Amino acid sequence: MQIKQLSLIFSLFLTLCVCPATQAQRAGRIESIKLLTADTGWAATNKKLFWTTDGGAQWKDITPKLNHKEQHVSSVFFLDASTGWVLLNCGDGRDRMVDDVCFEFALTKTAGENWSVVHPKIVDPGIDPSNVNDGVGTYSGTTFLDFADPQHGWAVLRKSYGLQRSEGTMLRTVDGGTTWTQLSSGTPPIADGFRFANPNDGWMVDGREGDLYASHDAGNSWQEASLPKPASIGPDTGVSNDLPVFVNERRGFLLARYAVGPPMGPDLSTLVLFGTGDGGRTWKEERVLPRLPDIYSSGLAGPVLVAAHSEQVKAAESGGGHRPAATRLSLYTLGPNQDQTSNTAEVSSQGAAIELSFVDRDQGWANLTDGLFATRDAGKTWVDVTASGPAFGPVGARQSRTGASPSLAVGPASSAEILDPSSTISTHLGFDGYNVPTIPQMTAWIASSPFYDVYIYLPNSPNRHDDPILVSKNGPGWVSSIEGQGWGIVPVWFGLQSTCDKATNITEYISNTQTVASKEGAEEADQAVAQDQLLGITAGIIFLDIENHTPDHSTCSLAVQAYVDGFVSEIGFYSGYSAGVYANPAPITSDISQVSPAPAEIWIARYDGHVTIWNEVIKDTLWPDGQRMHQFLANTNPKNAPNATWGGVPLSIDYDIDDGPAVNANTFAKAYTYGTPAISNCPGVIDTVPLGINDMSNGVFINGPGQAGTVVGY
């Protein structure tokens, strides 16, 4: 059925009770760690740097303080228990071009008691000063930092575009961080993690594909490096490398993964440990490790390699535990003479191992995606040291973002009722469009249209153009203004897409390697939250847009699941935020419903004209309680010509019905008066019940007297 005109019979008979979330969240995900001695070490979130001198029993905030409105801890490197450097990205929110290159280095020689701060001059050669809104050439805030000795250090700043192959610039210091020079010999081949064994020899690994690059001239030039493939591997479909680790400036180890499974699966790999005795100029096979866990196995983060001391190397693997809310953490110790030992223990975590740091055979830390754990017996037992200080203690349950009272009265005084602004669940109509309307257009629609919520596409996402209003310096003002009018806002992030999606407007895709896809999802979650906050939105829902693709129940599906898992899990580390997913029914059923933890909400794309959230091919038992949106009608006009006019203002929109969270939701209620319909039922339809009438309290159709719900129709 084609809908030519949508009018509304909008009577709320049901008051929904929105109970506060009970699951505590940590103040921030631990991004990086280092145990420097048996008791001394540091841990960093994206906001703070913390220090411990008792193995994690107590933590002290040693974050350098900048003279800027905003600052984030981007990278940390400590050479020993006293001397360290922090790279912070900063900003004052006044000039986007200035903020784009606002990075500062802080140096301490007193374990964070005192810091000296250096503000280097950084040139962004890719930016067009006449058009700073084109998204080209801007830095993302993702950085990497490493020192070979007290004097020689390097930093890489990643650009905010080029997710298919990261790009960036490199800086170098030869005086311990007092001055930094931006290398003029060209950008590095990628902008990713790197490590220098000495002042000349360094390595960089593409975190997406695992390609290895080497520099033997202090970072002035880089060449792709290949390791001698062991004859015992046999045919393979590709190799990915880890970043090498070094015991000293000459002795180091590198783990390579050879994909040996058939092209269409199952995914199998063989791991090879390479060693070097000359600072990495040459590598030789030391061991083939078929007994270590498979990097591509579902649900595993894969081995994390670390040189503990002397000739010992450690790798960790995590997977589902036998108890609820438990992770099985296995630690492998690889010693000389081909000996190998392992210890496995369950920890109170649902995370995956992402980083290890050991100072000797027995004492070390394991950083999981949801906590930091310490062992003193080589992994036989682990202690959670995350919640022992202000760095990572649990914070309160999610709080709704309270919007300003509406500045616009709708009709006479009796026609507008101020509702409880603490309720984040909107049970109204919403709309989304190619670009957000102007403030005057929104003013006209709030007074005359049946819509309460507007969906906005956050700027600087990989596969969507930037909205000219939101990407400009006027973006925060636009958000503040329409919140004041009473609009609810639903932010959307249009990220990477499945390789099974062949739409012509998609140019950047999710990696089909699950561990990489998960990392991509987490990185984009960080970017989405950053863009949300730049608009002045400090909490609430963010929907990840997954465009329509055909689930293949193998490569594409597993990649999408890993990508969504990374996004949802990362959003969960931001206090007050939650993640939803926009998708068609088939991907929701086959892929999105398999993700754990599950997205908090779904936004169903199904253009059936049914103004309801139920009976949309997806089981009504999934996301049943204020957790659904439905995009029920798309604009099919040529070139997206306007298809809706309210208050004399025509706009091009897609129609949505909401039973889920919105920022600034439920600020007021509209009252409309319509004539009595000439036909009050639908002759010829089964049970004479239109799909546009649904009971939102228990997910069934209103099919008799005495039932209450939201009644909408056309």
Series of mean pLDDT values for 10-residue runs along the chain (714 residues): 28 23 42 92 91 91 88 93 94 74 94 94 65 52 92 90 67 96 82 92 84 92 90 81 86 84 62 87 83 44 65 76 71 78 82 85 87 91 72 30 24 28 74 94 91 94 90 89 94 94 84 88 91 90 94 89 92 88 94 90 90 82 87 86 91 92 86 44 40 40 46 40
Strand partners, 489: 454, 663
CA distance 514 to 302: 10
**Residue 185: other Cβ atoms inside 10 A:** 11
Strands of 584-647, DSSP E: 601-605, 628-633, 644-646
Residue reference for tokens 């970043």? 243
CA distance 451 to 231: 66
For residue 49, give the H/E element and its range.
Answer: strand 49-52
Sequence-ordered list of residues with C-beta below 8 angstroms from that of 412, at least 6 positions apart, any chain: none
Task: Give the pLDDT of residue 656.
Answer: 94
Strand partners, 253: 245, 275
CA distance 594 to 561: 7
Strand partners, 646: 649
**Interaxial angle between packed helices 439-448 and 475-485, expressed in degrees from 0 to 180 and rounded to the nearest 10:** 20
Strand partners, 367: 355, 372
- If you compute the radius of gyration of the chain from its CA atoms, what whole number of angstroms results? 27
Task: Give the pLDDT of residue 454.
Answer: 97
Contact call for residues 249 and 278 (beta carbons, < 8 A)? no
What is this structure's pTM? 0.56
> Is the peptide bond preceding residue 120 cis, with omega within 30 degrees of 0?
no
Task: Give the pLDDT of residue 616.
Answer: 86
> What are the sequence ranges of the domains in the chain?
425-676
Task: Give the pLDDT of residue 92.
Answer: 81
CA distance 642 to 635: 8
Say which CATH class 425-676 falls into: alpha beta
DSSP state of 509: B
The whole-angstrom distance between residue 561's C-alpha and the CA centroid of its chain comes to 14
Q: Between the CA of residue 82 and those of 48, 56, 57, 73, what are the distances in Å?
A: 18, 17, 19, 18
DSSP state of 442: H
Residue reference for tokens 């063989």? 270
Task: Give me the sign of the Cα torsion angle 649, 650, 652, 655.
Answer: positive
Strands 202-205 and 194-196, by their bridges, are: antiparallel
Sequence-ordered list of residues with C-beta below 8 angstroms from that of 170, at least 6 positions apart, any chain: 154, 155, 156, 157, 182, 183, 187, 188, 219
CA distance 27 to 178: 32
- Measured over all CA atoms, what is the biggest interatomic distance in the chain, rounded to whole angstroms? 89
* HSE of 485, CA atoms in CB hemisphere, 13 A: 23
Contact call for residues 483 and 477 (beta carbons, < 8 A)? no
CA distance 239 to 370: 29
Closest C-alpha to 386, from 73, 37, 75, 55: 55
Task: Give the pLDDT of residue 321.
Answer: 61
* HSE of 143, CA atoms in CB hemisphere, 13 A: 28
